[in-house]
Structure 1
Amino acid sequence: MSIHPERGSGNTPGHRPEHAVKAWISGFGVGVPRGATAPDPESLEAAAGALTPPLVVKAYGPGLLHKSDAGAVRLGLGSAGDAARAAAGMLASLQARGISPDGFLVEEQAEPGVEVIVGAVRDPAFGPVLLAGLGGVWTEVLRDTVLRLCPITEDDARAMLDGLRGRALLEEFRGRPAIDRDALVKVLLAVGGPDGIVAELGDRLTEFELNPVICGPSGAVAVDARLLTTDGAPASEAETGAGAHAPGNFDRLFAPRGVAVVGASTKKPNFGNMFLGFYRAAGFAGRLVAVHPTAPDIDGVPCVPSLAEAARDHDIDYALVAVPAARCPEVVRGAAGIPFVQVMSGGFREMGEPALEDDLLAAAREAGVRLLGPNCMGVYSPAGGQTFLGGAPGRPGRVALISQSGGLAGEVVKVGERRGLAFSKVATVGNSADVTPAELLAYLAGDDGTGAIGLYLEDPRDGRGLAAALRSVRSARKPVVALVGGRSGQGRRAAASHTGGMISDTRVWSALAEQTGVTLVTSQDDLIGALDLLDLHSARRAPGTNEVLVIGPSGGASVLAADVFDGAGLELAGLPAPARTALRELGLGAGSSLANPLEIPVGPRGDPGLVRRAVTAILAHRPYADVVTHVNAQSFFTFGDSAEPLLAYTRAVGALQEQLPDTRITLVMRNAECAPPGVEDAVRDLARSSGVPVYRSMEAAAVAVTAGKRSAHGTA
């Protein structure tokens, strides 16, 4: 099916008149009112003769994109003659304002119902985005809308309706019958489904809107329709999602047999020299060479005169280029035969030089190499010998990271390793001129050595591919945590419709998270914390529920903890009566209520094993998926002078985790700065040895626990 309604004349390029849009969308199964058109008021009475009142008259033409604002709509007309007279009055009013309509549309007025908006607009990064919400006059007042990336599934459509704050209006409400939800879902799929209107429009879509769709107990009717298009080509594979990246083989990127560094100096140490030092300090076991036209060696590393010479030995899999930006395309053109080339240098698109970046990409294509960057730090993989950090690498692990910031990636690795994380593969991609986050993510979906994945993104470059890759990672049962920078700062073009006005970066990322199961966080610390929990608890078959049990000292801290976890959307489900009885048998409840959060005496003189016995008693009657234990480090060292009681408590928490392999245990060490030097590290090491992550605050723990629950829901 192709769109062929006549173009509207006037000042809105690609704007189709309403009646033509309605005739077209009815072919997709969208219900529209019966109607007719007339070129002038004199002809309208005859055109409306076959229609059943009450009637609606609308003018269409240049300057009438928003008809209600222009006074170009009349409702509730009792006859064809009334419709003609209304059109005549409308014409006079519009002409007085300098507007000359092309004609008039007369339709049967739809029965009253709940008004809903359904629209689609093109996002610069992710392509078409579908919006649904309360419509009509409520659209701008309430802004109660939900987004999903196209194409959507039926489950997506139903989740969109469930996500509305005003969803009760769609159900039976104060004697009014429920709307026909199936009919509304059918409209959503007709617009945003795999074979829907958005897919048919492809690259030509600018904005599309049905507002309102009037929904009642027996169906849904689109009483207004707007379409703005460009003259683009039909839908491309990338637009429909059919061209998503197949997983490439990046094994040698993360475990090269040899590395060549371009840009090291014999006179003045620079970034090239720094990276030679990094590889040597990391104990790189493969072949390491520097590229220099005359020097026999640099800093003890043997030199070759060119990348072409390095490639002839067939064991250089990775070249690192650290020369001025203007020289980079020439260097990359000489890299034929080397699978991967990383350009560390900046000064390309990010600095207002897109032509230079285009030339760099063309050079990579000519040489037949895959390009990482430009403007990136490179790759880190302790098992594969790759590094962009100083010092000895950490121990190999199962946490992967893809980052568009090299500096932030370095912080995540170093801070994460300080806290006990172990990384499998880390890639910084900078401008992502060639290798994209989507490609690397698709590769990691099939990487047996990776269990959890972190992302730091600013511009995904290939948003459609990223969404497809996130779905493949979800299918592979690997949780993903994403920190997105610049969500509030990206510009949006002015929107002609309500739909376009309610699309934002934050909302698109949230929609992506809902559709793919990725967890969005708002800080580097939360990214590390969530990856920590996902790494330690990835193998646990915890129930996929939102219930959390919180247990620890201090009523005030427990109240605040309840607020934090409730705000994170987690449920502090109450303790069943048999559990409360069991707790009383343990001597609890005499001076405090037996509730969730549960207050127990924890301190330098407390029984460290009480937490284990209390949780065991509770879980015998209610299987909480997550148990968050907390301690106040300050109290241990205000009322005691030894770290042993705190360490004993930590050992008890670890024993609890070992006793309950299918429950996720988390430890919060509040006021850790009050502990003597080294105690926090000792607590963290002890807890991690039993598979328990440690956090400094309830807020950090809540973010991590939420990530764990999303992972369980997404892979159940």
Structure 2
Amino acid sequence: MNAIPEHEAKAWIGGFGVAVPRGATARTPAELEAAAGGLTPPLVVKAYGPGLVHKSDAGAVRLNVGSPGAAAAEMLGALAAQGIEPAGFLVEEQAEPGVEMIVGAVRDPVFGPVLLAGLGGVWTEALHDTALRLLPVTEADARAMLDELRGKALLDGLRGRPPVDKDALVKLLLAVGSAVESLGEGFGEFELNPVICGPSGVIAVDARRIDADAPAAVSAAPPATDFGPLFAPRGVAVVGASAKKPNFGNMFLGFYKAAGFAGRLVAVHPTAAEIDGVPCVPSLAEAGVDYALVAVPAAQCPDVVRQARGVPFVQVMSGGFREMGNPDLEEELLAAAAEAGVRLLGPNCMGVYSPAGGQTFIGGAPGRPGRISVVSQSGGLAGEVIKVGERRGLAFAKVATVGNSADVTPAELLRYLAGDPGTSAIGLYLEDPRDGRGLFEALRETAKPVVALVGGRSGQGRKAAASHTGGMVGDARIWPALAAQTGVALVRGQDDLIGVLDLFDLHGARPAPGTPEVLVIGPSGGASVLAADVFDGAGLALAPLPDAARDALRGLGLGAGSSLANPLEIPVGPRGNPDLVRHAVTAILAERPFPDVIAHVNVQSFFTFGDSAEPLLAYARSVGALQAELPGTRITLVVRNAECAPPGVEDAVRAVAREAGVPVYRGMEAAAVAVAAGKRHASHISGSVDGTA
């Protein structure tokens, strides 16, 4: 890395409109005294040169200086005692005190240039109060960064202090972003710390720029690939099935047979004529298929892939590559795919699932075709999402597992699915996306709702250069920044991934806005109080009911013994009117619109005080009718304590609700995550249309 002297870094960033102190440089203390003649005290003196990246730690900064030459001479002796010989000295006018900020950027190895803003000076290390955004940034991004800071009250004025000039700070953020982008692939790190902010402007009093030793190599983007044959192949070949002892290859042959694959199905075996009733060919060169699944030991995979010329897609299920400390073997595999002219999925993954296209990597008959698609770096987790999702009524269009993503990346598949007319909602499970910048750009460009579950966020840090800025960029920080800029919903578990996909599938196209208001309605005051806590924690607003709405509710016989508030407590049970919630919601929305309505019910009460599922099903049908009457409102149903229902009842309720376009959740927490994700998507799309995102 190549450190640029501070005065040169300031001259460079000053060219982008960033204010810096007036100053001068000199090689010796005597020359510095003369150079400072035109500057107004008090002054600051700094030494610069090799070994002085962190000047304060080396004692290479003096404040409130009267004689720059004397200060430099004293500093020279102190540095000599440390074995440091400065290349020169910088003298500057000392800035007025104010709120100190840090503004910087670093090149993340996966996502590229990342902008950071936070409290500066010593607070940078003490509080770690920072916000990130991937470059490029908009003015809206810059303002959102400042709003995310825990210490933002300092910018607004605290204890009688005047507010700082936020507009000037926003302009500085945008200027730093533009400056960093101008460096292209040669950029390494850049930091302004501190930036002193006051009511009449901001000034960067320290600057540090480190360029890459050599511009990073830019890998050529792969040509646009038609992934249609991957999800609907005319033929499938399985490599690795045994004629003697059943193994993974045999298992996959069984999966395709059980799924009723209608195309050409072959096994690749050097001597056998058939395996498990499936005809064999001696190598992939004779397979004549669109897709090959390779399940042989890792060391044999490159040779197998070299035989795949003419096969558009090869999926290597085998593990034992980069994820097991064998990057050279993975590079050999990648080279073999390039030599054969095939696109490689994996290694270390399971396969592809598409009920409409005949693709499968799980046992049993495929589910009904749907419009939900998933890209997963874990084959096992993808299988769980499919099975659990289908159990809850979800239907999938295309699911691809990509493992190590040596060739085909999640970003590439995301771009394809974003333009796929058969996909309406997209789920991602990611660990190392490989092409983080491509993923960011693909997410920014898609208008479809996307939910992402990211593994390993808490245990990994990015290997950035040792700096204040670089040390604050890591997995756990990048993903929320990416979500803020792209509208993707981040979730923390598989259940929420499935739950958000369910809401996106049913509500993603509804015209309801992304504003935070929700109406919660159902039985039990305690449950309503807990619901208020949950939805408030998810950033959603339980707006009060207007007087006219409360009057209308009293006309329905409500309000005796309970307050008419939001959440609204309303009797729902085996002996109640199943249409009461529908009437109440209709009355409220006639006076005040709510983009989201969460109707909850205590399933246990229906079978403690009743002995039939029909009242509960009647309630579900009424909620479905409400959704039909309010196509511009997102209705969500929460079936609390569903495990108290007899077997099959919960499934029946889900089926009734889903047929009406209403997603169903077992708890308020899951519903809150999904509703918040739906609002985020609606808000992001609205902002993109309005030009504000």
Give yes or no for TM over 0.5. Answer: yes
Map of 1:9 onto structure 2 = none
What's the CA shift string for 1:667-704, capped at 9, x where partnerless? 11111111111111111111111111111110000011
- Classify the secondary structure of the residue corresponding to 2:53: coil
8 Å CA contact 1:262, 1:292 repeated in 2: yes
Out of 135-144 and 399-408, give the one that drifted further.
135-144
**Using the alignment, how far apart are the partners of 1:524 and 1:283 within structure 2?**
29
- The letter for the 2-side match of 1:484 is V
Cα offset, 1:427, TM superposition: 0.2
1:532 equivalent to 2:505? Answer: no
What's the CA shift string for 1:40-87, capped at 9, x where partnerless? 22222101011122211112234432222333222223x4xx222222
Cα offset, 1:547, TM superposition: 0.5
Cα offset, 1:94, TM superposition: 3.3
- The letter for the 2-side match of 1:582 is A
- The letter for the 2-side match of 1:201 is L
Cα offset, 1:555, TM superposition: 0.8
1:492 equivalent to 2:480? Answer: no
Out of 651-660 and 200-209, give the one that drifted further.
200-209
Q: 1:237 to 1:492 in 2, by over 3 A?
A: closer
Q: 1:131 to 1:430 in 2, by over 3 A?
A: same
Give me the CA root mean square deviation. 1.8
1:76 equivalent to 2:76? Answer: no
Cα offset, 1:530, TM superposition: 0.3
8 Å CA contact 1:114, 1:170 repeated in 2: yes
**Using the alignment, how far apart are the partners of 1:131 and 1:539 within structure 2?**
34
1:615 equivalent to 2:582? Answer: no
Out of 486-495 and 523-532, give the one that drifted further.
486-495
Q: Which runs of 5+ in 2 are unaligned?
A: 687-693
Out of 183-192 and 667-676, give the one that drifted further.
183-192
Q: 1:236 to 1:32 in 2, by over 3 A?
A: farther
Map of 1:31 onto structure 2 = 19
Of 511, 516, 520, 2:481 maps to 511
**Using the alignment, how far apart are the partners of 1:274 and 1:399 within structure 2?**
26
Map of 2:386 onto structure 1 = 413
**Using the alignment, how far apart are the partners of 2:81 and 2:430 within structure 1?**
53
8 Å CA contact 2:109, 2:464 repeated in 1: no
**Using the alignment, how far apart are the partners of 1:237 and 1:565 within structure 2?**
45
Of 97, 103, 108, 1:112 maps to 97
What's the CA shift string for 1:395-448, capped at 9, x where partnerless? 111000000000000000000000000001000001111100000000011100
**Using the alignment, how far apart are the partners of 1:404 and 1:613 within structure 2?**
46
Cα offset, 1:174, TM superposition: 5.8
Map of 2:312 onto structure 1 = 339
1:267 equivalent to 2:244? Answer: yes
**Using the alignment, how far apart are the partners of 1:604 and 1:552 within structure 2?**
14
Map of 1:224 onto structure 2 = 206
Map of 1:422 onto structure 2 = 395
TM superposition score normalised by structure 2: 0.96
What's the CA shift string for 1:171-205, capped at 9, x where partnerless? 46666544333332232222223xx2x22333333
Map of 2:626 onto structure 1 = 656
Map of 2:7 onto structure 1 = 19
Map of 1:148 onto structure 2 = 133
Of 260, 269, 275, 1:298 maps to 275
Q: 1:149 to 1:27 in 2, by over 3 A?
A: same
Map of 1:668 onto structure 2 = 638
Map of 2:146 onto structure 1 = 161
Cα offset, 1:245, TM superposition: 6.1
What's the CA shift string for 1:91-113, capped at 9, x where partnerless? 33333444433322100112333
Cα offset, 1:124, TM superposition: 2.2
1:325 equivalent to 2:301? Answer: no
TM alignment of 1:558-597, pairs within 5 A? 558-597=528-567
Of 362, 373, 397, 1:389 maps to 362
TM superposition score normalised by structure 1: 0.93
Of 53, 57, 62, 2:45 maps to 57
Q: 1:700 to 1:20 in 2, by over 3 A?
A: same
- The letter for the 2-side match of 1:29 is G
Out of 676-685 and 158-167, give the one that drifted further.
158-167
Out of 587-596 and 163-172, give the one that drifted further.
163-172
- The letter for the 2-side match of 1:122 is R
What's the CA shift string for 1:232-280, capped at 9, x where partnerless? 22x6656xxxx66675210000001111111111111111111111111
Q: Which runs of 5+ in 1 are unaligned?
A: 1-12
- Classify the secondary structure of the residue corresponding to 2:676: helix
Percent identity over the alignment is 78
8 Å CA contact 2:107, 2:464 repeated in 1: no
8 Å CA contact 2:520, 2:598 repeated in 1: yes
What's the CA shift string for 1:188-232, capped at 9, x where partnerless? 222223xx2x22333333321100112234432211011223312
8 Å CA contact 1:335, 1:367 repeated in 2: yes
What's the CA shift string for 1:542-578, capped at 9, x where partnerless? 1221111111111111111100000000111111111
Map of 1:138 onto structure 2 = 123
- The letter for the 1-side match of 2:489 is T
- The letter for the 1-side match of 2:269 is H
- Classify the secondary structure of the residue corresponding to 1:326: helix
Map of 2:229 onto structure 1 = 252
- The letter for the 2-side match of 1:544 is G
8 Å CA contact 1:202, 1:236 repeated in 2: no
8 Å CA contact 1:543, 1:624 repeated in 2: no
Of 35, 41, 53, 2:29 maps to 41
- The letter for the 2-side match of 1:120 is A
Of 331, 349, 367, 2:322 maps to 349
Map of 1:4 onto structure 2 = none
- Classify the secondary structure of the residue corresponding to 1:683: helix
Map of 2:689 onto structure 1 = none
**Using the alignment, how far apart are the partners of 2:223 and 2:491 within structure 1?**
27
**Using the alignment, how far apart are the partners of 1:244 and 1:150 within structure 2?**
19
Of 367, 374, 383, 1:401 maps to 374
- The letter for the 2-side match of 1:56 is V
1:634 equivalent to 2:616? Answer: no
1:66 equivalent to 2:39? Answer: no
- The letter for the 1-side match of 2:230 is L
1:92 equivalent to 2:77? Answer: yes
- Classify the secondary structure of the residue corresponding to 1:57: strand
Cα offset, 1:383, TM superposition: 0.7
**Using the alignment, how far apart are the partners of 2:8 and 2:63 within structure 1?**
20
Cα offset, 1:302, TM superposition: 1.4
**Using the alignment, how far apart are the partners of 1:245 and 1:547 within structure 2?**
44
Map of 2:570 onto structure 1 = 600
Map of 2:691 onto structure 1 = none
8 Å CA contact 1:244, 1:464 repeated in 2: no
**Using the alignment, how far apart are the partners of 1:247 and 1:451 within structure 2?**
21
Q: 1:244 to 1:705 in 2, by over 3 A?
A: farther
Q: 1:247 to 1:618 in 2, by over 3 A?
A: farther
Out of 115-124 and 455-464, give the one that drifted further.
115-124
What's the CA shift string for 1:322-360, capped at 9, x where partnerless? 111111111111111111111111111111111111111
- Classify the secondary structure of the residue corresponding to 1:272: helix
- Classify the secondary structure of the residue corresponding to 1:549: strand
8 Å CA contact 2:372, 2:426 repeated in 1: yes
Cα offset, 1:714, TM superposition: 1.6
8 Å CA contact 2:101, 2:193 repeated in 1: yes
**Using the alignment, how far apart are the partners of 1:118 and 1:644 within structure 2?**
62
**Using the alignment, how far apart are the partners of 1:450 and 1:644 within structure 2?**
35
